[in-house]
Structure formats: structure tokens, C-alpha cells
């Protein structure tokens, strides 16, 4: 498929209606179809969207369509800050053109009150709610303080930065220096020993633990906020 407005125009614009008169499509109709495709893809989140269609080549001359224009989101169908959208005519004249739509959302999001470092465990006191225009869909951002429970930062964020969902990770269950129970199982027998965690870690993560009885350092899997399972 042709993916530039200019080439699409020269491929399809040479069709002439009976009587020699040529009627060209209004670029505003292409923009409207592209935006409508984005709104349809956004579903319930469409009410927060602010959309801006990319400029079309002013030399473009596409024969007017005698059917409603059809817009569609390309690629994986996901909406991004800059989303490529196709618009096609399936009437007596057939053509397809590609354009881009800048996708932003305006709604209340959580914004950092101060710079926050990677791995900080989050509380509502770290953020304030503020109405912002943010890139992409509002679903990509944290909007409720309740969503912070049991979460830490996957990466640092700056003061005043909206909190994106992909910046969150599950909070560490165990912290460096914490006393834990080392659990080993073999042949239906459980052995429990006291140890000291040598690193932070979340559920299912692997950390090193010092066995307080033998002073040996072993590696185990975090099973709860107090238990690390290891092999004998």
C-alpha cells in the first residue's frame, strides 16, 4: 500500500468524471475521517481526547468520493501520541491515503510533588491531582491515589511530571537488612533457618540471604514478606 499523501494523490487523482469536470475531495473531510477513526478506537476514553490531524500535501488532488470516507488506525491498532491513520474511498473512485493524528488527552492525573528516585515506594502524599493535557490516552496515566498502594517507581520522575502507568512496579516485599526465614524443602521435610536479606526484592524475585547459623550466603526466591525459599 502507498503510505504518503503525495504519492497517493498522483496515483489516484487522474480519474476524470463524465463531462470533463473534476471534483476533488476537501482535505477537511480527510482530517475529519482520520479523527473519527481515532475516537472510535479510543472507545470510552474518546471524551478526553484532543486531536490534531497532520498537514496534508497542498499539491494533493484526490477525486471526490461518492461514499462516506472510511478511516482506520494502521499497524497494531494501538493509539500513540503520533498515530498513523489511513483514509480510503470505496466508491466508484477508489483510493487510500495515509496521514497522522496527534493524540492527547486532557483530564485530572497524578503529578509528582517533588523529584522521586527509582525504587521509591509510593504514597498519596508524593502526588497531587492536576488537570493536564498529556500525550496519548488517559488510560496510560495514574489518575487515582488508590492505585499507588503496593507500588514503587520503575524509573525516576521529576517534580511536576504526570505519573505514567508504565513507571510503576510492585513494591518490594523484602528489604536489605531485614531478618527473614530461609525455607528449604527436601523429601517432604521442611527446614527453616533465620537469615538476613542482602538486597531488596519483590514477590517471586531472587535475592541473596545470609544464613545466620552457618554465615553462608545463599540465593533464594521470595515467597512472602518474611520467607525466602532456597535449596539445601
106-164 confidence digits (pLDDT tens):
999 999 999 999 989 999 999 999 999 999 999 999 999 999 999 999 999 999 999 99
Domains in the chain: how many in total? 3
Closest CA to 16 of 115, 93, 131: 93
More confident of the two residues 53 and 45: 53
pLDDT at 22: 77
Query: b or e along 72-109 (b: 16 or more beta carbons within 10 Å of the residue's beta carbon)?
Result: ebeeeeebbeebebbbbbeeebebbbbbbbbbbbebeb
What is the distance between the alpha carbons of residues 112 and 157, in angstroms, rounded to a whole number?
Answer: 8
pLDDT at 95: 96
Shared domain for 75 and 98, answered yes or no, is yes
Shared domain for 48 and 92, answered yes or no, is yes
pLDDT at 202: 87
Shared domain for 9 and 100, answered yes or no, is yes
pLDDT band at 19 (very low <50, low <70, confident <90, very high): very low
pLDDT at 15: 41
Shared domain for 132 and 213, answered yes or no, is no
With residue 96 as reference, give the H or E element that holds it: strand 94-112
pLDDT of residue 3 exceeding 80: no
Shared domain for 19 and 63, answered yes or no, is yes
Q: For 219-228, what is the mean pLDDT?
A: 94
Among residues of the chain, what percentage have pLDDT more than 70? 91
Which cell numbers in the block locate residue 222?
521470595
Shared domain for 88 and 125, answered yes or no, is no
Shared domain for 62 and 99, answered yes or no, is yes
Q: For 23-43, what is the mean pLDDT?
A: 95
Boundary (domain end) residue, out of 119, 152, 170: 170
Shared domain for 111 and 100, answered yes or no, is no
Shared domain for 9 and 61, answered yes or no, is yes
Question: Could you list the residue range(s) of the whole structural domain that residue 42 is in?
Answer: 5-104
What is the distance between the alpha carbons of residues 34 and 72, in angstroms, rounded to a whole number?
Answer: 7
pLDDT at 20: 54
Which cell numbers in the block locate residue 94?
477508489
Closest CA to 119 of 147, 151, 166, 145: 151
Q: What is the mean pLDDT of the chain?
A: 89
| 31 CB-side CA count, 13 A | 11
What is the distance between the alpha carbons of residues 144 and 141, in angstroms, rounded to a whole number?
Answer: 9
pLDDT band at 66 (very low <50, low <70, confident <90, very high): very high
DSSP 118-170: TTPBP-GGGEEEEEEEEES-GGGB---GGGGTTEEESS-B-TT-B-BGGGEEE
Shared domain for 16 and 44, answered yes or no, is yes
pLDDT of residue 32 exceeding 60: yes
This model's pTM is above 0.75: no
pLDDT band at 186 (very low <50, low <70, confident <90, very high): confident
Amino acid at each position: 500500500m502507498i503510505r504518503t499523501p503525495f504519492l497517493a494523490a498522483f496515483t489516484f487523482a487522474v480519474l476524470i468524471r463524465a463531462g470533463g469536470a473534476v471534483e476533488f475531495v476537501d482535505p477537511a473531510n480527510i482530517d475529519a475521517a482520520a479523527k473519527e477513526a481515532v475516537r472510535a478506537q479510543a472507545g470510552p476514553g474518546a471524551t478526553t481526547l484532543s486531536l490534531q490531524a497532520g498537514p496534508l500535501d497542498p499539491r494533493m488532488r484526490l477525486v471526490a468520493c461518492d461514499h462516506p470516507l472510511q478511516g482506520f488506525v494502521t499497524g497494531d491498532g494501538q493509539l500513540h501520541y503520533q498515530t498513523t491513520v489511513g483514509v480510503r474511498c470505496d466508491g466508484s473512485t477508489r483510493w487510500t491515503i495515509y496521514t497522522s493524528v496527534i493524540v492527547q488527552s486532557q483530564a485530572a492525573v497524578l503529578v509528582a510533588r517533588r523529584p522521586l528516585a527509582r525504587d521509591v515506594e509510593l504514597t498519596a502524599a508524593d502526588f497531587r491531582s492536576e488537570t493536564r493535557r498529556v500525550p496519548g490516552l488517559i488510560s496510560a496515566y495514574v489518575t487515582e491515589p488508590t492505585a499507588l498502594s503496593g507500588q514503587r517507581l520503575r524509573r525516576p520522575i521529576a517534580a511536576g511530571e504526570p505519573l505514567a502507568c508504565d513507571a510503576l512496579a510492585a513494591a518490594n516485599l523484602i528489604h536489605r537488612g531485614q531478618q527473614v526465614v530461609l525455607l528449604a524443602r527436601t523429601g517432604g521435610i521442611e527446614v527453616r533457618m533465620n537469615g538476613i536479606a542482602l538486597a531488596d526484592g519483590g514477590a517471586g524475585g531472587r535475592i541473596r540471604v545470609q544464613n545466620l547459623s552457618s554465615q553462608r550466603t545463599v540465593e533464594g526466591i521470595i515467597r512472602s514478606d518474611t520467607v525466602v525459599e532456597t535449596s539445601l
